[in-house]
Amino acid sequence: MEEKDKDLGTKGKEDTLKGKLGKTAGKIQSKVGEATGNTEMEAKGKAKEAGGTLRSTAGNAEQKVDRTLDREERRERLDE
């Protein structure tokens, strides 16, 4: 399925998952950098972790908006 064909809820679920994966990968990279004394790797890992957190949060928001829109559409159909 192409990105433009996905509804907001599906895109939100994907973004949430990708964000969690990015956060985990960043945490691992940061810990490896810390353990090896590689401050550049540690910093890149922390940045990746923060990016993952942001993407996951955005995905959760997309899902919430999608649920709200779906609820409103159902209400409008019932009112007809």
Count the residues in the chain: 80
**What backbone phi and psi angles, to 5 degrees, belong to 7?**
-80, 170
CA terminus-to-terminus distance, the chain:
33
pLDDT-derived band at 74, boundaries 50, 70, 90: confident
Retrieve residue 22's tokens.
């990015």
Question: Do residues 19 and 53 touch, judged by C-beta distance below 8 A?
Answer: yes
Residue 34: predicted pLDDT: 97
Domain boundaries, the chain: 8-79
* Percent over 90 (pLDDT), the chain: 75
pTM to 2 decimal places: 0.81
Kindly tell me if the per-residue pLDDT of 3 is higher than 70.
Answer: no
